[in-house]
Amino acid sequence: MSASLLVSGVSKRYGATTILDNVDLTVQAGEVVALTGENGAGKSTLMRICAGVLAADAGEVRADAPIGYCPQEAGLFELLTADEHLMMFGRGAGLSRGEALRRGNSILAEFGYPLHERVVVRDLSGGTRQKLNLAIALLSDPAVLLLDEPYQGFDHGTYVNFWDHCRTWRERGIAVVVVTHMLAELERVDRVVELPAHPSRAHGRGH
């Protein structure tokens, strides 16, 4: 099975503070990996580097394109509706207006998004915003999914539904990396990679 995401020797510093030090990570196609670690271990920083929105100071990241990235803080526009987000991000992914709406609304429906409500993001709950954030990550039909605590604000049913989707993505051959603090859910993943609190090489352990 080929590697869909390969991280080699990635390091990142902010001033005098080392956030990541020589981190290695390999994720295979059809594998769900949980990325764990204490606050400040650099999990979100590593995800941003893998997604290409932050430059590493050293090392390299290679990934099968396209990549879907769901950040912990939803990068949404307060005065746009869900459909407007889908059309805008869909255009960036090379989709037509109709295809972006079709794909996006199908994903949103799977996560119980209130499609009948044409409201702007500013008026949405945190959990509903995160559903839109996740739909945008999936819009381009990615080969690699980078999910930084994507279930923030989800109710119990949607939270369980998210992990069911992880199994479906695995079956479709997508490489999935999920940042999570939910240790009870680690049985749902193939492998756990823990970033240590003190800068060091990240290591994986089977699960």
Question: 48 and 2 in one domain?
Answer: yes
Q: Which whole number is the average pLDDT over 37-44?
A: 92
Cβ distance 43 to 195 under 8 Å?
A: yes
**pLDDT for res 199:** 43
Per-residue pLDDT reduced to its tens digit, 68-80? 999 988 789 999 9
CA–CA separation, 14 and 151 (whole Å) = 28
**H helix or E strand, kind and range, residue 179:** strand 175-179
User: Quick one: 58 and 7 in the same domain?
Assistant: yes
Residue type for position 89: F
CA 136, chain centre distance (Å): 10
- Two tokens at 129? 């915003």
- 147 and 60, same structural domain? yes
Q: What is the chain's mean pLDDT, rounded?
A: 90
Structural tokens at position 24: 């290695």
User: Are 59 and 83 within one domain?
Assistant: no
Give the tens place of pLDDT for each residue, 124-148: 999 999 999 999 999 999 999 999 9
Q: Is the pLDDT of residue 187 over 90?
A: no
Is there a domain that residue 70 lies in?
A: no
Which domain covers residue 123, as residue numbers? Answer: 77-141
Confidence grade of residue 207 (pLDDT, cut at 50, 70, 90): very low
Distances (CA, A) of 13 to 69, 96, 133: 22, 40, 28
Q: Do 137 and 152 reside in the same domain of the chain?
A: no
Q: Domain count of the chain?
A: 2
What percent of the chain is predicted at pLDDT more than 90? Answer: 75
pLDDT value of residue 2? 66
Residue 135 lies in a domain: yes
Q: Which CATH number belongs to the domain containing residue 197 in this structure?
A: 3.40.50.300
User: Within a domain: residue 71?
Assistant: no
pLDDT of residue 206 exceeding 50, the answer is no
In-domain check, residue 89 = yes
Residue pLDDT, tens place only, 148-172? 999 988 998 999 999 999 999 999 9
